[in-house]
Amino acid sequence: MEFEKKLNRLQEIVTDMEKGDLSLEDSLKFFEEGVKLSRDCQSELSAAELKVKKLIGKDAEGNFQEEAFEVDEDSDD
């Protein structure tokens, strides 16, 4: 699931839980899902290193070929 969808789903779950009309079973189910979502979101957000790749072309089957890209700090264009 995309990050935004996860975040939206998390907010939806919180709103539903705060209404207070869920059964304990449903609440626990929601809580479990919410915790997983918030964990996913957090881990995605706290990635330390930005991943930058460069497209170098397509292979014979038409798949994109990428390679890691390092910023040339000395470039001045």
CB of 30 to another protein, least distance (A): 8
| Shortest spacing between CB 61 and another protein, in angstroms | 14
CA torsion angle for 9, 10, 14, 16 (degrees, to 10)? 20
Contact positions vs another protein (CB under 8 A): 2-4, 7, 10-11, 13-14, 17-18, 20, 22, 24, 27-28, 30-31, 34-35, 38, 41-42, 44-55, 64, 66, 69, 71-73, 75-77
Judged by phi (left if over 0) then psi (alpha if -120 to 50, else beta), residue 70 lies in beta
